[in-house]
């Protein structure tokens, strides 16, 4: 954990606090079906609208991150999330609940491109994989705690859960406002450099869009841990508590292993890591077809969780590596959208395959998708040039020096003023 700038740790703290208060996503289905008395179909519709909001905001938030800056985008996203989550707790009409859930999805997802772009700005290039891994660890640690506390809060008052999440999200916005300077790199002599990196630039970047497509495939697999696995276990006669025990392995392993595994992988070839993690993810879910007991389900979860631990920080680091400095927000927005779209498609895919063909076909399809993704990474990253900021020094100066100078400026902390100038 050493060697990272103070600004990173404030951003990390904001992420942790945000996830510690992520109660609504945990108990939304129970709130709608048990407390409000709506059908499971309606609960699924609300969840889909929440996910659709994330898809819509991914690209717009990426543009905002580049044009307005990382700090303003974070403040707008987190403040909007706090207001919309609190409002959702008071909604009673089904149309109003669905509409506000869509807004919550938009607001909560809008902070992701800004967080990832800011992290890339303030951390030294050689430390980025470690930084993204620590951030992913904070997300899972916070979610594990909030998931455990959600049940206790819901037994007392669902409204209290909405309000607590709103307050904690507002605390995140205050941390950003008080402690984090703006990290967006300044435009240089090419005054229009930032504007030149538009969405067309992103869409025309063949290698990067290939990574986005492969990211969607990998996300489609990992989503089955929360959408396909509980349904398949239920149809096989296992109880919700059995699923809870099996999936708890995922959170425990990430909290325990994320940091030591990162120390092992952070300077290794990302092509091999992404090929291997995609293949292992597919195999892990594929083995679920042979699970007949809770213990075997737990073993399969262990396999694909190892893949998740390796894949998440490596893939985020690759996105930064392929992104131009002044277009990080747009690139991160497109990458975020691949996961948001996967969150929409995964439930439809799992439901169709389980209902029409059986759960074994779902797990076989996951194994196939993982293999395809592994082959895709192997082909796409062949000939990928070495990251310029980590390349050899030329005439006493390291390429990517602007990134390093910017890191030194930001690492000095908020004493530079709100804009970090």
- Residue range(s) of every CATH 1.20.1250.20 domain in the chain: 1-186+394-421, 199-383
Confidence at residue 196, expressed as pLDDT on a 0 to 100 scale: 61
Query: How is residue 284 written in tokens?
Result: 């892990």
Ramachandran region of residue 314, left (φ > 0), alpha (ψ -120 to 50) or beta?
alpha
Confidence of residue 191 (pLDDT cuts 50, 70, 90): very low
Render pLDDT for 214-254 as a digit per residue (tens, 0 to 9): 999 999 999 888 778 887 887 888 877 787 778 878 888 88
Render pLDDT for 360-383 as a digit per residue (tens, 0 to 9): 999 999 999 999 999 999 988 776
DSSP string, 90-152: H--SHHHHHHHHHHHHHHHHTHHHHHHHHHHHHS-GGGHHHHHHHHHHHHHHHHHHHHHHHHH
Confidence at residue 404, expressed as pLDDT on a 0 to 100 scale: 46
Rg over CA atoms, the chain: 21
> What dihedral do alpha carbons 300, 301, 302, 304 form, nearest 10°?
90
Mean pLDDT of the chain: 79
Q: Is the pLDDT of residue 258 over 70?
A: yes
Which residues share a beta bridge with 397? 394
Distance of alpha carbon 112 from alpha carbon 119, whole angstroms: 11
Cα angle 58, 64, 70; round to 5: 100
Distance of alpha carbon 106 from alpha carbon 58, whole angstroms: 8
Residue 33 per-residue DSSP state: I
Confidence at residue 336, expressed as pLDDT on a 0 to 100 scale: 82
> How far apart, in Å, are the Cα atoms of 29 and each of 38, 350, 384?
9, 18, 44
H-run or E-run covering 310: helix 294-322
Q: Report the sign of the C-alpha dihedral through residues 39, 18, 262, 327, in that order.
A: positive
Q: Is the pLDDT of residue 51 over 70?
A: yes
Closest CA to 101 of 204, 8, 31: 31
Q: Indicate the SS3 state at residue 255.
A: helix
Closest CA to 12 of 146, 118, 106, 108: 118
Q: What average pLDDT does the segment 131-145 reach?
A: 80
Contact 97, 162 (CB under 8 A): no
> Is 199-383 in CATH node 3.40.47.10?
no
Q: Is the pLDDT of residue 388 over 60?
A: no
Distance of alpha carbon 404 from alpha carbon 181, whole angstroms: 17
Phi, psi of 266 (to 5 degrees): -60, -25
Confidence at residue 400, expressed as pLDDT on a 0 to 100 scale: 42
163-166: list long-range contacts, CB under 8 Å, 24+ apart: 163/86, 163/89, 164/21, 164/23, 165/21, 165/22, 165/23, 165/24, 165/85, 166/81, 166/82, 166/83, 166/85, 166/86, 166/89
Distance of alpha carbon 136 from alpha carbon 123, whole angstroms: 15
Confidence at residue 393, expressed as pLDDT on a 0 to 100 scale: 35
Closest CA to 306 of 257, 270, 266: 257
Render pLDDT for 295-320 as a digit per residue (tens, 0 to 9): 999 999 999 999 998 988 888 888 88
293 exposed, middle or buried (CB, 10 Å; 0-12, 13-18, 19+)? Answer: exposed
Confidence at residue 387, expressed as pLDDT on a 0 to 100 scale: 54
How many Cα atoms are found within 13 Å in the side-chain-facing hemisphere of 111? 24
Which residues share a beta bridge with 394? 397
Render pLDDT for 89-107 as a digit per residue (tens, 0 to 9): 899 898 999 899 899 888 8
Distance of alpha carbon 135 from alpha carbon 126, whole angstroms: 16
Q: Which of 59-68, 332-341, 371-380, 401-410 has the lowest mean pLDDT?
A: 401-410
Residue 223 per-residue DSSP state: G
> What dihedral do alpha carbons 294, 295, 301, 302 form, nearest 10°?
160
Confidence of residue 341 (pLDDT cuts 50, 70, 90): confident
Cα angle 111, 193, 326; round to 5: 30
Alpha carbon of residue 345 to chain centroid = 16
- For the domain spanning 1-186+394-421, the CATH number is 1.20.1250.20
Phi, psi of 6 (to 5 degrees): -55, -35
């Amino acid at each position: 954990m050493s060697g990272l700038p103070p600004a990173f740790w404030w951003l990390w703290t904001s992420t942790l606090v945000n996830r510690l208060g992520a109660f609504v996503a945990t108990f939304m289905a129970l709130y709608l079906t048990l407390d409000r008395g709506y059908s499971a179909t309606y609960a699924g519709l609300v969840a889909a609208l929440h996910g659709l909001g994330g898809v819509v905001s991914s690209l717009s938030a990426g543009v905002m991150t580049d044009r307005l800056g990382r700090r303003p985008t974070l403040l707008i996203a987190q403040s909007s999330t706090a207001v919309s989550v609190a409002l959702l707790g008071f909604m009673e009409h089904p149309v109003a609940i669905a509409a506000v859930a869509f807004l919550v999805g938009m607001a909560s997802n809008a902070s992701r491109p800004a967080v990832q772009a800011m992290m890339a700005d303030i951390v030294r290039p050689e430390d980025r994989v470690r930084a993204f891994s620590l951030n992913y660890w904070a997300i899972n640690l916070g979610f594990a705690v909030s998931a455990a506390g959600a049940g206790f809060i819901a037994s007392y008052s669902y409204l209290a859960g909405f309000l607590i999440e709103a307050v904690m999200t507002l605390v995140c916005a205050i941390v950003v406002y008080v402690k984090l300077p703006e990290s967006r790199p300044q435009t240089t002599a090419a005054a229009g450099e930032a504007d030149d990196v538009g969405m067309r630039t992103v869409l025309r970047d063949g290698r990067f869009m290939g990574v986005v497509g492969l990211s969607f495939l990998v996300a489609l697999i990992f989503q089955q841990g929360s959408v396909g696995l509980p349904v398949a276990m239920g149809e096989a006669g296992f109880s919700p508590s059995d699923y809870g025990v099996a999936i708890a392995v995922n959170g425990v392993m990430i909290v325990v292993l994320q940091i030591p595994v990162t120390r092992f992988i952070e300077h290794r070839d990302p092509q091999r890591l992404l090929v291997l993690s995609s293949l292992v993810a597919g195999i892990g879910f594929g083995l679920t077809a042979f699970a007949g007991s809770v213990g075997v389900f737990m073993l399969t979860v262990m396999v694909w969780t190892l893949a998740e631990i390796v894949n998440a920080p490596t893939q985020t680091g690759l996105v930064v590596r392929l992104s131009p400095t002044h277009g990080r927000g747009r690139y991160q927005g497109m990458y975020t959208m691949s996961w948001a779209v996967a969150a929409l498609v995964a439930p439809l895919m799992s439901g169709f395959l389980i209902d029409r063909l059986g759960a074994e076909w779902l797990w076989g399809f996951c194994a196939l998708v993982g293999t395809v993704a592994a082959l895709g990474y192997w082909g796409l990253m062949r000939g990928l040039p070495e990251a310029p900021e980590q390349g050899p020094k030329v005439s006493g100066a390291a390429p990517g020096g602007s990134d390093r100078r910017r890191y030194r400026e930001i690492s000095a902390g908020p004493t530079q003023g709100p804009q970090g100038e």
